Amino acid sequence: MSKKILITGAAGFLGSHLCDRFIKEGYQVIGMDNLITGDMKNIDHLLKRDEFEFFHYDVTNFIHVAGKLDYILHFASPASPIDYLKIPIQTLKVSSIGIFHLLGLAKEKNARILIASTSEVYGDPLVHPQSEDYYGNVNTIGPRGVYDEAKRFQESMTMAYHRFHGLETRIARIFNTYGPRMCLNDGRVIPAFIGQALRGEDLTVFGDGSQTRSFCYVDDQIEGIYRLLLSDYSEPVNIGNPDEITIKQFAEEIIKLTNSNQKIIYKSLPEDDPLKRQPDITRAKEILGWEPKVSRSDGMKISYDYFKSLSQEELFKSEHKDFSKHIKR
Ligand code: UDP
């Protein structure tokens, strides 16, 4: 009998790739998403498959799943700084109230649960590169606090269930990841720059562009998460690509890649924007035998082809989704 897995955030960027992967591995997949930031087009191709079921559902409500359940992946959450600003309370709820429900479900079903945590638990790091034993430097009340603190709380809750109830838990600290199905309009730097190049606009670098990020291609990220779920390791594991670059250099790379003549223009640096970020992946290498394989140049070519294939309507839709209909006042 095939294993059954619940994936929350199934219509999102990482969630949809995880659905693909687990179906490919022979699992029965239940996808769940409230579609605030997710998009059904990411899982359209799965809807007709017998191995896939989808529920349009918000995990901050009580969750019931009939029958057995072997695994849970909690990937529901807004994931871009613009989204945290627009929907701060949902961002807090999904990783606090949501994780309560999912841990309770895991306990009831005796299922193993993996949570999507983030490099944001390190905040604006004072240690470089960031290893899992670094406690972080987070501004609780800043604009990113709603995401960072919710994810930190989610880790604490998960460890408490592990220690107190003996639940099998896994924590993936995910660093910047990119690839096909990223939302073109959520303001994250890769879709932002590629979208600007495709529309013939100048590329907006925030600050002086000396801040760094380290970008991981989605297939590598999914492989890391897959291995972590199947491992017996319950402490957090960084999953990301250590290949670090400044945002200014990255903008220059995109101009070359897209063969565009756009200029770089500078805008003010958002509050609490981390100045440096690079994962130390020693633990992932040792415990999972994992390291990223896809170079930035290969991954960016694939991603560029994906964004180029989107419709003009999507390309020129400047605003991310209208959140107002999801917000109860
Ligand atoms: N950034 C930028 N221009 C943009 C969008 C983002 O210079 O149009 C910068 C942003 O200030 C940050 C980095 O790119 O330093 C990565 O931003 P992103 O929103 O992708 O993710 P973060 O890693 O900050 O969560």
Q: For residues 29 and 10, what is the distance between their CA atoms, to the nearest angstrom?
A: 10
- Confidence check: pLDDT of 1 > 90: no
- Confidence check: pLDDT of 322 > 60: no
Domains and CATH numbers, the chain: 4-179+216-241+273-293 (3.40.50.720)
Among candidate residues 147, 178, 226, 304, the one labeled active-site is 147
CA-nearest of 145, 146, 141, 171 to 156 is: 171
How much distance in Å is there from the Cα of 250 to the middle of ligand 1?
A: 11
User: How confident is the model at residue 328, as a pLDDT?
Assistant: 46
How much distance in Å is there from the Cα of 194 to the middle of ligand 1?
A: 13
List pocket residues of ligand 1, CB cut-off 6 Å: 80-81, 176, 187-189, 192, 204-206, 211, 213, 247, 270, 273
- Confidence check: pLDDT of 318 > 80: no
Per-residue pLDDT, averaged over 1-28, amounts to 98
Query: What confidence tens digit (pLDDT) does each residue in 250-280 have?
Result: 999 999 999 988 999 999 999 999 999 999 9
- Indicate whether this model's pTM tops 0.85: yes
**Looking at ligand 1, which residue's alpha carbon is closest to its atom 19?**
188
Residues 59, 28 contacting (CB under 8 angstroms)? no
- Confidence check: pLDDT of 119 > 70: yes
User: How confident is the model at residue 2, as a pLDDT?
Assistant: 95
- Confidence check: pLDDT of 184 > 70: yes
* 66 or 329, higher pLDDT: 66
How much distance in Å is there from the Cα of 189 to the middle of ligand 1?
A: 5
User: How confident is the model at residue 317, as a pLDDT?
Assistant: 82
Question: Which ligand 1 atom minimizes the distance to the CA of 82?
Answer: 19
Order of all β-strands in the sheet with 4-8: 52-56, 28-33, 4-8, 71-74, 112-118, 169-174, 236-239
Q: Which residues of 76-87 are buried (b: 16+ CB within 10 A; e: fewer)?
A: bbbbbbbbbbbb
- Confidence check: pLDDT of 292 > 90: yes
Q: State whether residue 287 is helix, strand or coil.
A: helix
> By CB neighbour count within 10 A (0-12 exposed, 13-18 middle, 19+ buried), where does 55 fall?
middle
Query: What confidence tens digit (pLDDT) does each residue in 42-52 have?
Result: 999 999 999 99
Query: What confidence tens digit (pLDDT) does each residue in 223-248 have?
Result: 999 999 999 999 999 999 999 999 99
Question: Which ligand 1 atom minimizes the distance to the CA of 120?
Answer: 25
For residue 174, CA distances in Å to 189, 206, 241 come to 16, 23, 10
**Looking at ligand 1, which residue's alpha carbon is closest to its atom 18?**
188
Query: What confidence tens digit (pLDDT) does each residue in 56-71 have?
Result: 999 999 999 999 999 9
Q: Output the average pLDDT for the chain.
A: 95
Residues 122, 79 contacting (CB under 8 angstroms)? no
How much distance in Å is there from the Cα of 163 to the middle of ligand 1?
A: 36
Is there a catalytic annotation at residue 71? no
Query: What confidence tens digit (pLDDT) does each residue in 79-99 have?
Result: 999 999 999 999 999 999 999
User: How confident is the model at residue 329, as a pLDDT?
Assistant: 41
pLDDT band, residue 320 (cuts 50/70/90): low
Q: Is the peptide bond before 129 cis (omega within 30 degrees of 0)?
A: yes
